[in-house]
Chain A
Amino acid sequence: MTAVVPRRSSRQGGGGGRARRPKGLTAHIVLVLAVLISVFPFVWTIVMATNTTEDIYKSPPKLTFGSHLLENIRHVLDTIDFFGSMLNTLVVATVTTVLVLFVDSLAAFVFAKFDFPGRKVLFAMLVGFMMLPLQLAVLPQFILMSDIGWVGTLKALILPALANAFGIFWLRQYIENGVPDELLDAARIDGAGFFRQYWNIVLPMIKPALSFLAIYAFVGAWNDYIWPLVVLNDPTHLTLQVALAQLHVGHTTDYSMVMAGVLMASVPLVLVFTLFARGFIAGATEGAVQGS
C-alpha cells in the first residue's frame, strides 16, 4: 500500500536501483494515454449522437455533448426497426449461448473423463477444424439453408453456431484439471449415473469456465455480421448488426442519427462486459495461455 505514487520531482530515468519509481510514473502515463485512445471512440460516439449533423460537421466541429440525443434516437426508430432487430439479436444470442453451454460441456466432460474407441480421432478432428476459417463453409451453408427453406429465419443463425469446437476444447481442459477423478469415482460408488455425475458434480464445479464461455458465445453471436448478412434477406427481419449497417447505407449524410444507432446498439454489450469483465478476462487468458 506504500510508495506506489511516484514523487513528482524525480525525472532522472534509468539511474540504477532508484529507477523504479520514475519508471512507474512513465508506465502510468503511457497506460493512461492508451486508455484514452481505447475509450475515445465511445466518448466521441456519444458526442456525435447528442449533436446535430450540422454541428459535428462544422469547422471547427462541436466538441461537447449536445441536447439532440432524443431527437436522433427518434430518427433511428423511424428509419429501422431497431427494437425488432434488437429482439431478434437477443433471441439468437440467448438461445445460442444456452445451447452451446449444454452441448459443449456435455461433450467436454466425455472427452475429459472417459476413454472410448475413437476418442482421439474425434477430438483431433474437432481441434483441426477449429483452425479452418469459417468462411470456407459460408457458401455451402447458405445453399443448405435455402434447400431446407430456412433462409431468412433465426434458426439459420442459431444452428451452425452450435458447432462451437473452441468451447469443447477449452472446457475439456478445465474439467480435466479442475474436476478430480476421485470425486467422480465416489459418486459412481454412490450409484450416480452418467448424467447425474455431469449435472450434479461437473456442472457446478466448472461454473467459472461456463460463465466465460457464456459471455464469449453471447458476444460472438451478438456481433456476428457476415453470416446474418448472407442469410437474412428479409429487410423486416434483421439482426442488430445488419440493421446498423443498413442505417449507414441509406442515409450517409445524417451521421448524428447513425451514431445514435451505434450508441444504442453498443451500450447494452459494453454494460454487460464491464459488469462481468473480471471473470471474463481471467477466463480468456487461461484459455489462451493453456492453449499455446
Chain B
Amino acid sequence: MLSHWRQYLAISPFFLIFGVFSFFPVFYSLYLAFQRWDGLGTVQFVGLQQFRFLWDDPVFWLSIRNTLVIWVLSTVPTLFGALVLATLLHSVRRFKGFYRIALYVPNVTSIVAVSIFFGAVFSNNFGLVNAILGTVGISPVPWLSNPWLIKLVIALLMTWMWTGYNMIIYLAGLQAIPAQIYEAARLDGAGPIRTFFQITMPIMRPIILFTVIISTINGLQSFSEPQVLFGSNAANPNLGGPGQAGLTTLLYFYQSAFVNNDYGYGAAIVWAFFVLIMVLVVVNWRLVQRGRKS
C-alpha cells in the first residue's frame, strides 16, 4: 500500500471532489426521498410516504408521459436521420470536412439560445412558421398551446441539436468497416440496399446500441427546453406551458424541489425517474441485442 502513495496521491483530487460532490450527494438524495423537509424546518422521517404520494400524483404521471412522448418523437427521427446522413456522407468524396462541421455545429450551441430561437420561430401569433403557412393560405397553427404540438416543437428542437452528433458517431463506425467487405459483396451481386441491411447494419450494431443508450439517457433528461420555452409565463415559469403539456419529469422535479421547497418530494421524483431510465436502458439494450440473433 505505502509503496503506491504517489499513485493514490495523484488520483486523490478526483476522488475527493467526486466523493464530496457526486458520490455523497447521490446517496444523500436517496436518504432525502424518505424524509419530509422544506429545507428550513426539521427533517422528518416518513418512510415510503413520498413514493406512495408519487404513485397517486397525476402530475407526476403526466410529466412521465410528456417526457416519454418527447423522447420518442425526438430519438426516432434523430437516430434514423443520423444513419441516413452518415451513409450519404460516407459515400461522397468532396466537401466531407465541411459537411461534418456544418452538421455538427448545432450540438455546440446552448440549449437556452436554441430554445429562445424556437420560441420565436414557432410563436403562435407572429412566428416565422405561421407567417410562411399564412402566405400559402393556411391559418395559424397553435404550436405553443396545443398539447401535442408543444411536444412536437420540443422534439424538433432536440432532433435539430442531436442529429449531427449521432451522424458523426455513425460515420466513424462506417469508416472503420474495411472496403474489401463491400468489394466482395459487390462481386457477389448485392445491391446497395441489400448491402446496407446485410453488411452495414450488423457491423454497426454495437455503435447503434451505444447511440440508443446515450439518446435514452440524454433524451429523457429534457429540462432546459421547456423551462426556457415556457419561461416567459411570468405567473409560474416552471409549469411547462399550457396544460402542462411541456412539463417534463425533470422540470417537475425542479418545480417541486426549488420552487415549492419540497426537498423530500423532489428527491423521490428524481429517484423514481432514475429507476425508469434504467429500466428503459435495459429494455433498449435487450431489444438491440435480440435483433442480433434473428
Q: Which residues of A contact B (CB under 8 A)?
A: 4-5, 14, 19, 23-24, 27-28, 30-31, 34-35, 37-39, 41-42, 44-45, 48, 56-57, 59-61, 103-104, 106-107, 109-111, 114, 116-117, 122, 125-126, 129, 131-133, 135-144, 159-160, 162-163, 165, 168, 194-195, 198, 219, 222-223, 225-226, 229-230, 240-241, 244-245, 248-250, 252, 255, 258-259, 262, 265-266, 269-270, 273-274, 277-278, 281, 284-286, 288-289, 291-292
Contacts and interface: CB of A to CB of B under 8 A. Distances in A.
Nearest to B1: A117
A288 B258 contact: no
Interface of B: 1, 4, 6-8, 10-11, 13-15, 17-18, 20-26, 28-29, 32, 39, 81, 84-85, 88-89, 91-95, 97, 99-106, 108-114, 116-117, 119-121, 123, 125-126, 128, 131, 134-135, 160, 163-165, 168-169, 171-173, 176, 191-192, 206-207, 209-210, 217, 221, 223-224, 227-228, 231-232, 234, 237, 250, 253-254, 257-258, 263, 266-267, 270-271, 273-274, 277
Contact of A39 (B6, B105, B266, B270): B105
Given A38-B106, A57-B126, A61-B128, A140 B24 contact: yes
Q: Which 10 A-B pairs have the closest CB atoms?
A: A285-B172, A140-B25, A137-B25, A292-B210, A57-B126, A140-B28, A116-B4, A160-B21, A223-B110, A27-B88
A99 to B, nearest CB: 9
Contact of A289 (B13, B119, B207): B207
A56 B123 CA distance: 12
Mostly helix, strand, loop or mixed at chain A's interface?
A: helix
A125 B104 CA distance: 32
A159 B123 CA distance: 39
Given A41-B117, A111-B11, A139-B270, A278 B97 contact: yes
B168 A114 contact: no
A160 B101 contact: no
A274 B217 contact: no
Nearest to B96: A31
B11 A122 contact: yes
Nearest to B29: A140
Given A136-B25, A139-B266, A131 B217 contact: yes
Contacts of A59: 126, 131, 134
A162 B22 CA distance: 10
Contact of A106 (B10, B254, B257): B10
B169 A110 contact: no
Contacts, number: 279
Contacts of A273: 105, 108
Contacts of A19: 192
Contact of A31 (B28, B99, B120, B207): B99
B10 A194 contact: yes
Given A241-B110, A249-B234, A129 B92 contact: no
B208 to A, nearest CB: 9
B110 A225 contact: yes
Given A23-B91, A45-B117, A194 B6 contact: yes
23 contacts: A14-B192, A27-B89, A30-B88, A34-B85, A34-B163, A38-B103, A42-B105, A61-B128, A107-B10, A135-B221, A136-B26, A137-B21, A139-B267, A140-B24, A144-B21, A160-B21, A226-B254, A244-B112, A244-B116, A266-B109, A284-B169, A285-B172, A289-B173
B111 A225 contact: yes
Nearest to A248: B116
A27 B270 contact: no
Given A223-B112, A248-B232, 18 more contacts: A27-B91, A30-B84, A41-B121, A41-B160, A44-B117, A110-B7, A122-B11, A132-B274, A133-B217, A133-B273, A137-B25, A142-B258, A143-B263, A144-B25, A225-B110, A248-B228, A248-B231, A259-B117
